[in-house]
Amino acid sequence: MDGKKPYVIAIIIQVIYTGLYVVSKAAFDQGMNTFVFIFYRQAAATLLLLPLAIILERRNAPAMSLRLFTKLFMYALLGNTITMNMYNISLKYTSATVASATSNSVPVVTFFLAVLLRLEVIRLRTLSGVAKAAGVALCLAGVLVIALYAGPAISPLNHHRAFSGGIHEAAAAAETSSNVGTRTRWMKGTFLMLLSNTTWSLWIVLQASVLKEYPNKLLATLIQCALSTLQSLLLAAAVVRNDTAAWRLRLDAGLLAVAYTGFVVTGVSFYLQAWCIEKKGPVFLAMSNPLCFVFTIFCSSFFLGEIVHLGSIVGGVLLVAGLYSVLWGKSKEHNINMQLTLAAASTEQVKHRQEEDDKMDIGGDEEEEIKRQGKMAASPEQQVGGEMKKPYVIAMMIQVIYAGMFVVSKAAFDHGFNTFVFIFYRQAAATLLLLPLALLLERKNARSMSFMLLLKLFLCAFIGNTFSLNLYNVSMKFTSATVASAASNSLPVITFFLALVTRMESVKLRSSSGIAKLAGLALCFAGVMVLALYKGPALNPVNHHHIAFAGDDARTSRATSSSSSRGAWIRGIFLMVLANVTWSIWIVLQAAVLKEFPNKMLVTATQCVFSTVQTLVVAVAAERDIARWKLRLDITLLAVLYTGLVVTGVSYYLQAWCVELKGPVFLAMSNPLCLLLTIFSSSFLLADIVHLGSIIGGILLVGGLYSVLWGKSTEMMDGNGDEHHKIPTTAGSEKENNNDSTTTKSPLQQSIV
């Protein structure tokens, strides 16, 4: 699996860049300034990487010299600021398909630079060298075919744009870029795109030398993002001086492009690229780029309604052939080098055979001792069975709590309760509940909190509580309780991806458990897509009368939600998914925080206190009307008490316990259950209309849930139970209270270390 991991990551990077081309083009078509866009993109990436880098790599990071800092500054200027600004300007002159096509010059330029810097070699007398040269030639031929040969037009897959603007705007943009646009305009865009690809190729080559000097990939990426943010701000301020309207972010494709390119492309993809360069070299990464062109042809045709020509298809086939030709050549070289290494190592193994036999004897004695202790510990069958079932019961309790949260929160917002004020009251109520409990139960056994730990908790509170909850509540006003619960089912996919990136989870594709986990993710994704894209016939609500509140506000809200424009629906779903992204980051970060400070109640209470202060500042800035702060004896007070005392208080503590015992992905995988509970509750309490698509999507989501849970259960059985998934703590009292005597690190923790 380790040998296949670079190939999988390279494909993931190309999928991410496909989304970059599509959403960026949509944002620029709506008039967003390219220089301002780059600043927001880099700022968003910095906000994503800062807490991750501090928590995961600060302790192991070597000291940074002034010379290294200067290198990173120049690399940020070259690979981020200059490249991205030239790319965005050229994208305004061309289209998403043309941008992706010209980016396939990156393998040729990168290979040429790598050969000049002696990072790569070509042995033309070997079959692998011929394959690599042939792959480069095929890539070049593909780019020339796309650039010089149009061929007959192929109708787009979708005649309606996913982004606002309509089919007429999309068709006009496509015709301008491919048919009506002058040759001078096309040459300008292509020249700038090739120039940006040249600087990008140079950055890829230089990254290899930087990672040898400073191997902390996450910190290196963070520093470059932060420096590029400052550079982009100065550049945007110089270009856009008096037009303050150009700096405003609205709930449209511009905000989607900033969030996607900042968090996913600049943040996640840059880190994956640094990892891939370190493992396989710069040319390997660049050679996977043609795949992005194939993905972009489909996505731009489907989402933007762009017209694709036969020349693009022919060029794409040549580019993919070139990709696999070079990858085969590199794989051939790697296998030969591996055989030589094994042959040299076999001599050393013969010399130390006796020492290895002694170690095996010692290992056998230790194995017998482990088996004996394991049998003694497993004798009380009922106790062991109860401990194994407890995480599943708690996970289901958490989903019941969240189903109630969706319903009462939507009811409160339908009554006109301000979302920012609501979050402040919610966090304040949770603090009043948790603070005395934490002081009574865990103060004596708790270690002192360092300033760095408080800073981590402050950032976690901001990400998982303040920022995520405010995004969620604003998006709830655009959607409904059922839609909110459905969108939250993106949590398993996001959390699993983050856990893979941070090496907290692994997938063994050759095992049945690994296949089950991937199948579960696919089912979860399919369920969300069905809920989003397929409505089906309406089913009568379980109850035709409101129980949760009186009046016609909810009925009006539902009518508005059902008849609202596609733009309002996209805004609500986008904000909901963005809230789930930040929530997934919080779930993953909780595991690292609990490993350092295992007192779950104090960790939860401290984050609630910090979030209360943060949300107060946000609410004061957003709502100046004193009348909007008043709490009345209606559904709004019920929503505050329920979400504050039950959700933020009780549920957060249960989640911290579940994350520590089973890991972050286990908790997120129980989320689809909440959708089924919300569908029934909103239908019964709010008289919401449920469609057949919701039922089908719910079945797929539950199937995905139990597929992943079965996979994780199989892994735990193969790895001697829960011991391999538990995060060890250093607090002796916690071990005594839970009858845990093991401190064995799981493969999950070993990969982090």
455 plus 593 within the same structural domain: yes
Q: What is the pLDDT of residues 144-174, one digit of tens each?
A: 666 666 667 666 655 555 554 443 444 444 4
More confident site: 89 or 501 = 89
Report the mean per-residue pLDDT for the chain. Answer: 70
pTM over the 0.75 mark: no
Taking Cα atoms as reference points, which of 9, 170, 200 lies closest to residue 90? 200
pLDDT of residue 348: 55
Range of the domain at 66: 5-335
Contact 675, 485 (CB under 8 A): yes
| Local structure of residue 58 (DSSP, 8 states) | T
Domain assignment of residue 194, yes or no? yes
What mean pLDDT do residues 460-473 have? Answer: 85
323 lies in the same domain as 249? yes
Q: Cα separation of 521 and 669, whole Å?
A: 9
- Most confident range (mean pLDDT) of 137-146, 216-225, 385-394, 547-556 is 216-225
Segment among 114-123, 448-457, 565-574, 588-597 with least mean pLDDT: 565-574
Q: List phi, psi (to 5°) of 570.
A: -65, -40
Does 554 fall in a domain? yes
Residues 401 and 546 in one domain: yes
Would you place residue 713 in the very low, low, confident or very high pLDDT band (cuts 50, 70, 90)? low
Please indicate, yes or no, whether residues 128 and 26 belong to a single structural domain of this protein: yes
- CA angle at 320 for the pair 315 and 321, rounded to the nearest 5°: 95
* Percent of the chain topping pLDDT 70: 58
Asked if residue 744 belongs to a domain, the reply is no
Predicted confidence band of residue 284 (pLDDT cuts 50, 70, 90): low
Q: Do residues 103 and 216 share a domain? A: yes
Inside any domain, residue 27: yes
Q: Say yes or no to pLDDT of 109 above 60.
A: yes
Split at pLDDT 50, 70, 90, the class of 579 is confident
Q: Which residues face 154 on adjacent strands?
A: 308
Asked if the structure places residue 164 within a domain, the reply is: yes
Taking the C-alpha atoms of residue 44 and residue 609, their distance in angstroms, rounded to an integer, is 25
Considering only CA atoms, which of 101, 329, 120, 103 is closest in space to residue 205?
Answer: 120
Structure confidence by residue, pLDDT tens digits, 177-201: 444 445 566 667 767 777 788 888 7
User: What's the total number of domains in the chain?
Assistant: 2
Q: How far apart are CA 448 and CA 443, in angstroms?
A: 10
Q: What whole-number distance in Å separates Cα of residue 703 and Cα of residue 712?
A: 14
In a domain, 237, yes or no: yes
Establish if 682 belongs to a structural domain: yes
Last residue of a domain, one of 691, 710, 741: 691
Judgement on whether residues 238 and 123 belong to the same structural domain of the protein: yes
- Say if residue 122 is in the same domain as residue 264: yes
Q: Is 80 exposed, middle or buried (0-12, 13-18, 19+ CB in 10 A)?
A: buried
The one-letter amino acid code at 193 reads M
DSSP state of 309: E
Strand (E) or helix (H) holding 34: helix 34-57
Strand 153-154 to strand 308-309: parallel, antiparallel, or no bridges (unpaired)?
A: antiparallel
Query: 691 has which bridge partners?
Result: 538
Smallest CA-to-CA distance from 575 within 460, 499, 488 is with 488
pLDDT band for 514, please (50, 70, 90 cuts). confident
Give yes or no for a contact between 419 and 469, defined as CB atoms under 8 angstroms apart. no
pLDDT at position 675 is 67
Residue at which a domain ends, from 691, 725, 747: 691
pLDDT band at 751 (very low <50, low <70, confident <90, very high): very low
Note whether 398 and 287 are same-domain residues.
no
Q: Is the pLDDT of residue 626 over 60?
A: yes
- Dihedral over Cα of 750, 597, 494, 654: its sign: positive
Runs of H (alpha helix) within 415-461: 419-442, 451-461
- Are residues 435 and 286 both part of a single domain? no
Place of tokens 């090496």: 503
Residue 137 has pLDDT above 80, yes or no: no
- Asked whether residue 723 is assigned to any structural domain, the reply reads no
Domain termination site, one of 667, 691, 715:
691
The beta-strand segments (E) located in 512-570 are 538-539
The pair phi, psi for residue 153, each rounded to 5°, is -80, 145
Backbone angles phi, psi at 602, to 5 degrees: -65, -40
DSSP state of 352: T
Q: What is the pLDDT of residues 484-493, one digit of tens each?
A: 777 676 676 6
Asked if residue 191 and residue 55 are part of one domain, the reply reads: yes
- How many helices, marked H, and strands, marked E, lie in the chain? 33, 4
Dist. CA 544–CA 547, nearest whole Å: 9
- For residues 70 and 140, membership in a common domain is answered with yes
- Taking residue 451's Cβ as centre, other Cβ atoms within 10 Å add up to 7
Question: Do the Cβ atoms of 543 and 685 come closer than 8 Å?
Answer: yes
